[in-house]
Structure 1
Amino acid sequence: MSDPVRAAGRYRWVVLGVATFTQAAAAFFVHGIGAMSVHLQRDLDLNTTRLGLLLSAAQLLPLAGLLVAGRLLDRHDERWVVGTGALVVAVALAAGSLAPGYVSLLAALLIVGAGYSTIQPGGSKSVASWFDTSQRGLAMGIRQAGLPLGGVLSASALPALATAFGWRSTLVAGALVALAGAVAFMAFYRRPPHRPPARTASPMRLDLLREPYMKKVILSGTCLVSVHSGLGVLTVLYLHEVASMEAAPAALVYVAVQCAGALGRVCLAAWSDRHKSGRYACVLACLAAVIAGMALLATPAGRSPAVACLLFVWLGFFGIGWYGPWVAYAAEAAPPDRTGFALGLAMAVNQVAIILAPPALGLLTDVTGGFAAAWVLLAVLTGLTLAATARRPTVGGGRPGRIA
């Protein structure tokens, strides 16, 4: 093997490392909001519905932003698209630290979402372009673990920071971390040597929505991001109000949930590299595991602190870890010249669930006076998705002859 080829083989791990760090840095503040739910409810006088809206605010603009980001990624170098997006996140969070109240904070988080639109599809495409199919699942899983890892770090640090210095200090910390991610990606990312320069992409058309693989991607993605969002907005509140845990221990359990999610993204994606039935079979396994966890959480056994903690960690592993094999399947099944747009399109549709799930689940909790209805709803939706997407397996996912 020639020295240039060997050097390129080593550098792909640098690319993977910087893409993972940038993902974690951009997600640091947004995915720490759930751990600060008790602090935010107290300091800003929020009910569960308004808290859910706060989590959804950063997810609104990506509805259109992900499509634009996907288009940009098919036409321009990921280095500048992703780096600029991370800079926007940093600036918006810094501005949000000056917000006088709830409405201004919502506005700042909207801008955060615009910048964040480039991070998910851009990082996924950058990793997919450096790794072949034999290791792409593992690489995607490691990279996608950056999101729950950002949640782990923020859930560990932000509640203590909010207690000591107030909620505004958490936005300053988030801005500094996002800035570090932007600088790192722009400094270290390079286009793989075997890939030709970006050329003019095909027209932005939504015909991909009619493809069988995209239907599976969208149905499973919207369902499982709803589960992920539900865990983000309700975990700490459930443990505090139903399992009678103090806010600090409940936040630590949320850290464990995020750690389980990060581990799941790596392990499940690595499993998808070797699964005889292909990557999508791993997504189906996650759907089944989520149904079991949510159903048990809705029973009286879920009120036990020990049982609730175990169930939330289980749901973290499968209800967050699914993203690794899912995004690898989506990237491989897409046409090579439309990978960025296909990823952006799938993630944009997911955004509908990401936006609607937190306030909807919060409202359902407020109206019913408990959490059981939210868990049952998520279990039913997951069951319907499992039945619909397992019905007609197809061959694909980038590896001919294997069930997608």
Structure 2
Amino acid sequence: MRPGSAAPAIAPRSWAMLAVMVFGQASTTVVTATPAFLIPYLHADQGMSLASAGMLAGAPHLGLVLTLIAWGALTDRVGERRVLLVGLSLTTLAVVASMAAQGFVWLGVALVASGAMSACINNASGRLITGWFPAEKRGLAMGIRQTCQPVGMAIAALAVPALANAFGIVGALAFGGALTLISLLACAVIVVDPMIPAKALAQASSNPYRESSALARIHAVSVLLVIPQFVLSSFGLVWFVIGFGWSELAAGALVAGAQLIGAAGRIAAGVWSDRASSRLRPIRLIALACAALLVISAAFGWADWAIPAAVAYVLVSCVSVADNGLAFTAVAEIAGPRWSGRALGAQNTGQFLASGLLPPLIGAMIASLGMPATLALVALAPLLAAPVLPSEELAHATAKRTVKAVR
């Protein structure tokens, strides 16, 4: 957007697409998160060991990692609407199969399948929003889209344990399936593939990974920046309960509040990137701020100052997730309409793999060094991310060769 020019008007249909994608992504997040929130019920009421329950909790995420790139490639080939209709239909069927599954093995297989099928929306929603919103408003739109994960997690945290206690595993699983079915119907009624001129598609045929290292470097940066996100969200409760002697209720409220503020922070970061006409400069500043706040949090932890540590924890939790929508938007814009599905799939795959590999390592670090020292060491990840991020010039040059006239 040229300085002084008016921002383009956004068609109501574009906002409808965004609303459907947010609901759909939140629904599939409930599907993949449900087994994790079933762990207390499976352990206490069903007599399942924590190790076995943990394996079931990880099953949907295994499915996600295995199929994200494949769904992205299919989206590039056949378009968003078809992928969403087929994928959400298969997700609903997989949830039904998990409800009917008998025994640990078959339940695990069905949960892997539900995660694998639900991955359809991760890439398709990003492509759809990128296509329906102009560049000057994509940061805002993608920031709103990125709130779907914390919203879905919050819904699952509130609903799944209560449904399990009232209706058992079947009732808890059915909740996510019902939400997915509703999102499928909404997609069938509302979703339309964005209109991309044939000339633009012809000009956007080159492989962006061969053009430059820009996308690979953004993927690497996102993997580095997911490390503090994971540590803060997964071990914050433990830190304040064990490290500062807070009650589980108080610590849980702090963590939940930090997540909700972080969701708002994603939207604010998107607006910032739109006004700055840049996705990468804000990411670099966010990475440096995250590193600084992690060190400050560690210092308060060493000093045993609970309230300052809580304030720093909320701030760094908010900052640590602010880059998600920006990186996702940058990847889609640089990759272009023929490659964005696969590129977004690679982006998500790297983050999910990192999140899956981190728990034992971070747990061991906290056990041997304590939470403050772990936070200080984790600060190295965003510090390293800042120089790895590609320059604006490299990103723009790559985008020109792959995106060209797409608007």
TM-score (norm 1): 0.81
Mapped partners of 1:304, 1:352: distance in 2? 34
Distance 1:274-1:204 versus aligned 2 partners, 3 A rule: closer
Counterpart code for 2:120: T
Match of 2:50 in 1: 46
**Aligned with 1:153 (options 128, 152, 155):** 155
Correspondences of 1:164-313 after superposition (within 5 Å): 169-193=171-195, 195=197, 208=209, 211-275=212-276, 278-301=278-301, 306-313=307-314
Question: What's the CA shift string for 1:11-70, capped at 9, x where partnerless?
Answer: 1111111111111111124357777777777665437xx887665433323334122111
Between stretches 340-349 and 325-334, larger displacement belongs to: 340-349
Contact 2:262 2:321 in 1 (8 A): yes
Between stretches 29-38 and 247-256, larger displacement belongs to: 29-38
Counterpart code for 2:126: S
Distance 1:71-1:45 versus aligned 2 partners, 3 A rule: same
Mapped partners of 1:105, 1:226: distance in 2? 30
Mapped partners of 1:35, 1:284: distance in 2? 34
Percent identical? 26
**Aligned with 2:83 (options 81, 84, 87):** 81
The Cα of 1:342 is off from its aligned counterpart by 2.0
Question: What's the CA shift string for 1:63-114, capped at 9, x where partnerless?
Answer: 3412211111111131121233233444434444566777666544422321
Mapped partners of 2:59, 2:364: distance in 1? 16
Match of 2:315 in 1: 314
The Cα of 1:308 is off from its aligned counterpart by 4.5
Distance 1:370-1:103 versus aligned 2 partners, 3 A rule: farther
The Cα of 1:136 is off from its aligned counterpart by 1.2
Contact 2:225 2:381 in 1 (8 A): no
Distance 1:285-1:190 versus aligned 2 partners, 3 A rule: same
Counterpart code for 2:177: A
Mapped partners of 1:247, 1:53: distance in 2? 25
Mapped partners of 1:340, 1:250: distance in 2? 39
Give yes or no for the alignment of 1:17 onto 2:16.
no
Mapped partners of 1:349, 1:203: distance in 2? 24
Distance 1:29-1:363 versus aligned 2 partners, 3 A rule: farther
Q: How many residues align?
A: 389
Mapped partners of 1:285, 1:270: distance in 2? 15
Question: What's the CA shift string for 1:105-143, capped at 9, x where partnerless?
Answer: 654442232123221111000001111111111111112
Contact 1:209 1:215 in 2 (8 A): no
Mapped partners of 1:36, 1:306: distance in 2? 32
Distance 1:275-1:248 versus aligned 2 partners, 3 A rule: same
Contact 2:137 2:274 in 1 (8 A): yes
Contact 1:161 1:169 in 2 (8 A): yes
Contact 1:141 1:325 in 2 (8 A): yes
Contact 1:227 1:319 in 2 (8 A): yes
Contact 1:57 1:355 in 2 (8 A): no
Give yes or no for the alignment of 1:26 onto 2:25.
no
SS of the residue 1:244 aligns to: coil
Question: What's the CA shift string for 1:263-306, capped at 9, x where partnerless?
Answer: 12211011101116x21111112212322333233345376554
Mapped partners of 1:297, 1:39: distance in 2? 34
Question: What's the CA shift string for 1:310-336, capped at 9, x where partnerless?
Answer: 334323322222111111111111133
Mapped partners of 2:32, 2:309: distance in 1? 24
Match of 1:136 in 2: 138
Match of 1:394 in 2: 393
Contact 1:75 1:198 in 2 (8 A): no
SS of the residue 1:140 aligns to: helix
Between stretches 316-325 and 127-136, larger displacement belongs to: 316-325
The structure with the largest alpha-carbon Rg is: 2
Distance 1:335-1:114 versus aligned 2 partners, 3 A rule: same
Question: What's the CA shift string for 1:350-372, capped at 9, x where partnerless?
Answer: 3321321234323444x528434
Contact 2:227 2:381 in 1 (8 A): no
Mapped partners of 1:225, 1:232: distance in 2? 11
Counterpart code for 2:81: R
Distance 1:362-1:337 versus aligned 2 partners, 3 A rule: same
Contact 2:300 2:306 in 1 (8 A): no
Distance 1:202-1:186 versus aligned 2 partners, 3 A rule: same
SS of the residue 1:67 aligns to: helix
The Cα of 1:163 is off from its aligned counterpart by 5.7
Match of 2:355 in 1: 354
Match of 1:382 in 2: 382
Question: What's the CA shift string for 1:121-178, capped at 9, x where partnerless?
Answer: 1100000111111111111111222122212322333344456666664333222222
Contact 1:128 1:136 in 2 (8 A): yes
Mapped partners of 2:372, 2:54: distance in 1? 17
Mapped partners of 2:196, 2:67: distance in 1? 29
Distance 1:53-1:210 versus aligned 2 partners, 3 A rule: farther
Counterpart code for 1:156: L
Mapped partners of 1:240, 1:39: distance in 2? 22
RMSD (CA atoms):
3.7
Contact 1:201 1:337 in 2 (8 A): no
TM-score (norm 2): 0.80
Distance 1:289-1:199 versus aligned 2 partners, 3 A rule: closer
Match of 1:3 in 2: none
